[in-house]
Structure 1
Amino acid sequence: MATTAPDQPPRKLKILMLHGYTQSGPLFHLKTKALEKNLHKAFSASPSPGHLPSHPGGCELHYPTAPIRLSATDIPGYDVDGASSADSGEIDSFGWWRRKGDAEPYTYAGIELGLAIVAEVLQKDGPFDGVIGFSQGGALAGMLASLLEPTRRQAFEAAQSAGGIRYLDSFTQDSGFIEEAVHPPLSFAVSYSGFAASTNPLYAAFYEPKIETPMLHFLGSVDTVVEEKRSLRLVEACKNGQGVEGGSSRVVYHPGGHFLPSSQKAYVAALVGFIREVMGKADSGNAEVKEEGVEDMDVPF
C-alpha cells in the first residue's frame, strides 16, 4: 500500500477550470458548483469503506479569470451569460481573446495575453493534473494541452516558415541548462462545447501534429452557438479523437444546447470515468444545474 511521506502533503487531484467567453472565474465557479461537488465526491480524501483514495488529498479546482475585459460592443445581446447592465459602467465579462474578421480565417487578438495568464497560474498554483474548459475555455483547454507536450515547441518553430505564430515565451523557462516548458504535460483535458481555433495558418501548430494528451469532448446536440463542425475539428485534432484509432469513445453528446451539464448522472459519470482511466494510467507509470443559455448569440470567438 502506498504511503505519503510525513513531510509531504497528501496528493490532490488538481484541475484548472477555464471559463467561456463573457464569463469570469467566479461566475464559472458558481455555475459549476454541482460539478465541483460531484468531483469532490468521486475523488474524496475519505472514500467509502473498503476503498482506498486514489488522491488522499481530495480534489482541488482552480478558476482563473481571463485578462481581457469585454465591453458591451464585444457581446451581442450583451446581458447574457452573467454580463451586467451597460448602465453600471464596466461589465463583469471577460475573454481569453477577441475574434477578429468577418469570416474564416479569423485572427485572435490578445491570445498571447490570455495564454500568458494561464502560464502564470500554472507556475503559481500548479502542478495541475488536467484542465476542464467550457466554450472558448474548451478551445483554450485544447491549446494548453498541446503547448505542454514535449515536442510542441519544435512544431511551432517548423510552422513559422508557413506563417505560424512562434512558440509563446510565457510557456518557456530557463532551467539553467536548457529552456523547457513552464509546466509538465497534462494528464488529461476536457472540453465542453469547445472548438478548434481558426483555420488561419497562424494557429496550425496547436494541432499539427495531433494532440497526444487524452482529451474528452462534450457536445450539445442542439448547440446553436458553436457549430458541431467546429467542435469536431477539435476532436479530429486529437490523436485519439473520433477517427479510426480511437473510435468515438471520447466524444459525448448531451441532448441540450450551449451549456455544461453539471449534475446529470450520465455525463458526470462519463467525466469521472475518463479522469479515473487516464489518471490510473498516469499513476501506473508513476440537483441538476445548467448554464444559462446563450442560444441567440452570434458569439464572436
Structure 2
Amino acid sequence: MSPPTKTPLGSKTSLKILMLHGYTQSGPLFHAKTRALHKALTKALPTHSIHLSYPTGPVHLNPADIPGYNGPSAAEAGEDMEPAYGWWRRKDMPHPTQKGETAVVYTGLQDGFTRIADTIAEEGPFDGVIGFSQGACAAGMVASLLEPGRRDAFSSSTSQKDVMETEPFPTSFSSLNQPPLKFALIYSGFIAPGTRYIDFYKPSLKTPTLHFLGALDGVVEESRSQGLIEVCEGAKVVTHPGGHFLPSQRPWLDAAVGFVKECLEQVTAGDNGNNKRDTKGKEENVEDMDVPF
C-alpha cells in the first residue's frame, strides 16, 4: 500500500482523481460540469489538497458520430461546432465464430487507454477515478486493469480462446507506477458487452465502487448498468430521479463525498474494505439514505 502523497509544503495530503468524460464531451467540458463536485470534495476534505485531472479522449467525433444529431455538417458549422470527443467508437461487426451473429467492437479503445495511461504517468499516481457514461465504462476498465493479477487473467483467457474474440491487455498499462485505485465513482456507467471484453470483469472487480443511476436515463439501458454493478464486489448503488447526467444537487454530492471519505478512511485504517463492503448491488434512493455511507 502506497503512503499518502504530501504537497511540497507538507501541510495537506494530496488527493488525486482521474476524471473521464462522456461520449461527445471533452476534458474542459467535463471540468465545467463537475465544478460542484470539486467544490463539495474540497469543503468536505479540508485536510486534503484536491487535484482533478481531465484528459480528453483521442477520438475526435464528427456530427455523424453523435447520436440524435440533426444539425449542420462539420463543414457547415465551422468554428461554431462544439468540439466532441470519445474514448472509442462502437462498431457492430460480424461475429468471428458465430455465423449470422454480430459482435460489438470498440474501435480505438487501445488509443483511449494510451491517452489515459499517459495522464497517469504524467500526473499520477491517482487515488481514484470518476467517470460519466462512456467515461464511466472506461473508469471501470481502468480500475480493473490496475488491480493485482489482472494481466494474468488476460493471458490465461487468450490462451484458451480465439484471440480475435478477446481484447488484449493494453501495453500502455504494462509499466505504469500506479497502485490499485482506492475508489471509483461511476455515473451512468455500463459494462462493455460480449466475450471480447470479459477479461476486464472476470475475476470481478475488487476496487470499491459507487454507481449513480438515473431513473429516467434514456441513453444507457438499465440492464447494461446492472451488468457492471454485478461484476463489482460490494458495489454501492444510488438512484437519482433524473436522466442521463451527473447530478449536482446536495443529496447526491453528499453521497459521492461520503463514499470517497469512507474509502480514504478505510485505507488509512489499514483496511481494504472487503469486510465492510458486503452489500453487493444494494440500491438505495437518496431520500432513504443515511449519508455518508
Structure 2: runs of 5+ lacking an equivalent: 94-100, 272-293
The root-mean-square deviation of aligned C-alpha atoms, in Å, is 2.4
**1:268 paired residue among 233, 253, 261:** 253
Counterpart AA for 2:182: S
Counterpart AA for 1:253: T
Q: Normalised by the size of structure 2, how large is the TM-score?
A: 0.81
Contact 2:17 2:51 (8 Å CA) reproduced: yes
Deviation at 1:31, TM superposition (A): 1.3
Equivalent residue for 2:34?
A: 32
**Runs of at least 4 residues of structure 1 off by over 4 A?**
4-9, 83-86
Equivalent residue for 1:214?
A: 208
Equivalent residue for 1:165?
A: 167
Bigger relative contact order, structure 1 or 2, given CA contacts below 8 A and separation 6+? 1
Of the structure 1 ranges 103-112 and 131-140, higher mean CA displacement relative to structure 2 is found in: 103-112
**Cα distance, 1:136–1:277 mapped onto 2, change above 3 Å:** same
Contact 1:192 1:219 (8 Å CA) reproduced: yes
Contact 2:63 2:74 (8 Å CA) reproduced: no
- Confirm whether residue 111 of structure 1 aligns to residue 121 of structure 2: no
Equivalent residue for 1:88?
A: 78
**Cα distance, 1:212–1:104 mapped onto 2, change above 3 Å:** farther
Deviation at 1:105, TM superposition (A): 3.1
Deviation at 1:78, TM superposition (A): 3.0
Of the structure 1 ranges 156-165 and 184-193, higher mean CA displacement relative to structure 2 is found in: 156-165
Alignment of 1:63-74 (within 5 A): 63-74=54-65
Q: Normalised by the size of structure 1, how large is the TM-score?
A: 0.79
Give deviations 1:9-60, integer Å, cap 9, x for gaps: 732111111000000000111111112111111122xxxxxxxx2x2xx211
Equivalent residue for 1:244?
A: none
- For residue 15 of structure 1, give the secondary structure of its aligned residue in structure 2: strand
**2:132 paired residue among 122, 134, 141:** 134
Structure (1 or 2) with the greater strand fraction: 2
Deviation at 1:265, TM superposition (A): 1.4
Give deviations 1:144-203, integer Å, cap 9, x for gaps: 000000110001111113232221110012xxxxxxx4411100001100100012x221
**1:285 paired residue among 236, 253, 270:** 270
The CA distance in 2 between the partners of 1:135 and 1:110, in whole Å, is 17
- For residue 52 of structure 2, give the secondary structure of its aligned residue in structure 1: strand
Structure 1: runs of 5+ lacking an equivalent: 45-52, 174-180, 242-249, 287-301
